[in-house]
Amino acid sequence: MAYSEKKKILVIDDSETNLLLLSAVLEDAGYDVELLNDSHQAVAYINKHKPDLVLLDLLMPGMDGFEFMDKMNQDIRRPGFSIVVVTAYDSHDNKQKAKDLGAADVINKPIDISSFLDKVEQIVN
């Protein structure tokens, strides 16, 4: 994959461990990865950059994943990108709420790397 063709993925998670794991997995698969541990910073980042995909944790201090998705839905300048929720906070209600807010998919932690990469590939291509 040529450098200019790399898909840009923004990972938002307050866990350094999760950020490092997802970064390693995605970079090994050929993606350009940006890591942020704060959803407020992510809003500013998205307004300047155009990620192809946002991987979003639900449980974060400040603005949680649901509030982040709601804010993205209200922003008329929002560039076109998909959001995939990656969470250990798994329940039917949370999955439904994430989908209702526009999440393309919900992936449970701990992730199955092969399945995770398949889903990412399907969504960004």
* Torsion, CA 50, CA 53, CA 57, CA 60, rounded to 10: 0
Q: What is the pLDDT along the chain (125 residues), one digit of tens a residue?
A: 444 579 999 999 999 999 999 999 999 999 999 999 999 999 989 988 889 999 999 999 999 999 999 999 887 666 679 999 999 987 899 999 999 999 999 999 999 999 999 999 999 98
Distance of CA 42 to the CA centre of its chain: 10
Domain edges within the chain: 3-124
Entry pTM: 0.93
Please tell me the CATH code under which domain 3-124 is placed: 3.40.50.2300
The closest of 68, 73, 28 to 45, measured between CA atoms, is 68
Torsion angles phi and psi, residue 6, rounded to 5: -60, 135
